[in-house]
Amino acid sequence: MPPQMQLPTRKLGRYGPDVSAPGYGTMGLSVFYGPPPPDEQRFEVLDYVYQTGCTFWDSSDLYGDSEELIGKWFARTGVRNEIFLATKFARTDEFAEDDDGQCIKDACNRSLQRLGIKTIDLYYLHRIERYMPIEKAVAALADLQREGKIRYLGLSDCSAAALRAACQIHHIAAAQVEYSPYKLDIEKNGFLQTARELGVAIIAYSPLGRGLLGGQIRSREDLSTDDLRRTLTRFGPEKFRKNLKLYEVLSALGEQKGCHASTLVLAWLMAQGSDIIPIPGTTKTRNVQLNEQSVMLQLDPDEIKKIRYEIENAELVGQDLPDGHTGSIMGQNELRQGDYLISADPLVTCEGLYDLMILEDTADAIP
């Protein structure tokens, strides 16, 4: 089933291939945002994403049955070679005892088995891992590349210093970070500048503020009781109402352009540079359509400046973190331990990410 459309492409870093932009994030199909839909419904979404020409997909071994779902979809469609697939590996208990990166290689083998494929196109370290120096992790990824099990290396939610240290071992094709109107941190903390210096593409996850700019979440009551977003301070009762005002402002600007707010935002993000590739996720084909329309939306310099003005002057409160945590999932607090770069913030690690999963059970207790 050949795709009915073809999206424009962007280069995946200095030495990478061209990939469709925007891409597609598969997390919400499987985990964190309430119960996943039945397989057939999810296959329909993947079919539609593919038909629109979006062939840059993102997954993780932490995303419930995401890899298994994609593997089933490959088996039923036979179009694996037409999808540029990125996935990530997260911490297991093996990390604490591992001293040669074998746990990373084992994680890759498990992902390959779940996906039913021989090679992963882009393989990310999901979070900087406190148990393993970044240099050693990247060396293990480079081994996987030499073995033909992965094509390109990536880091997710790392700091500028960690990215630079990684690139001293092997070129990193892409860095996945949160980049949205609600979180422009990479513009201010040196990360974007460093990535551009090193020739690393920016893969923007949660580009629509975890759904806040999609227009379908009008109150916390629109989130299921087991939705991870209930644990995030950005979605706290009072903070939610303030943060939603930005959607209303951007929605009004979108109406002036004859488009939805989500379409406007994705077009604006991609206008920040040819190295920016958003990967919005959704479980609805209508939202896929709105997202892909962003490639046809032309913004002139004045419109780009106007959107930025509204974003930077909005009263945005809370973070993409559970209540009680400080700092950022993007780890800027680092320590040097010998020659190894580690993170000082537990939420930067995969261990911290697992903590977020546990918090789902106490979602309603967080204001």
| Residue numbers annotated as active site | 63
Token pair 């999609």: residue: 214
Structure tokens at 140: 């293990």
Task: Give the strand pairing for 276-278 and 340-343.
Answer: unpaired
Q: Would you call 345 helix, strand, or coil by DSSP?
A: coil
- Please count the other Cβ atoms lying within 10 Å of the Cβ belonging to residue 201: 28
> Which residues on adjacent β-strands are paired with residue 122?
86, 152
CA 323 to CA 69: how far, in whole Å? 32
Q: Return the sign of the alpha-carbon dihedral for residues 260, 261, 262, 264.
A: positive
Calculate Rg over the CA atoms of the chain: 19
Question: What letter represents residue 3's amino acid?
Answer: P
Structure tokens at 222: 């629109």
How distant, in Å, are the alpha carbons of 58, 215, 278 from that of 266? 17, 14, 7
Structure tokens at 300: 């002139």
Token pair 């590739």: residue: 277
CA 104 to CA 107: how far, in whole Å? 5
CA 58 to CA 87: how far, in whole Å? 6
Q: Which candidate, 20, 6, 15, 33, places its Cα nearest to that of 206?
A: 33
> Which residues on adjacent β-strands are paired with residue 174?
154, 201
Token pair 């995401």: residue: 66
> Which residues on adjacent β-strands are paired with residue 84?
56
Query: 160-167 vs 134-146: helix axis angle to the nearest 10?
Result: 50
Strands (E), 24-101: 24-25, 56-58, 84-89
How distant, in Å, are the alpha carbons of 57, 112, 203, 268 from that of 7? 13, 27, 16, 17
